[in-house]
Chain A
Amino acid sequence: MKNLAFILIGTFFGIVLYKSEAASWFRIYEMFQFDAIHMYGIIGTAVGLGILFVQWVKKNKIKSFQKEEITISPKKKTFVANAIGGVLFGLGWALAGACPGPMYALVGAGFVTILVVVLGALLGAFVYGLLKSKLPH
Chain B
Amino acid sequence: MTGRTKRRLGMIVVAGALLLLLSGCARVQMPQDTFNAAGPEAHKINALFWPVFWIAVVVFVLVEGLLVFALGRFRRRPGAPVPKQVHGNTRLEITWTIIPALLLLGVAVPTVGTIFSLARRPPGSLNITATGHQWWWQVEYPSLNVTTANEIHIPVGQPVYVTVKSVDVIHSFWIPRLAGKQDLEPGHTNHLTIEASEVGTFLGQCAEYCGFSHANMRLRVMAQSPADFEAWAANQAKPAETPADGTAAAAGMDLFQNGRFANGLQCTGCHTIDGIQGAAGILGPNLTHFGDRTTFGGATFANTSDNLDGWLHDPPGLKPGADMPNLGLTQEQIDDLIAYLEGLK
Are A and B a genuine interacting pair, yes or no?
no
Interface, chain B (partner A; CB < 8 A): none
Interface, chain A (partner B; CB < 8 A): none
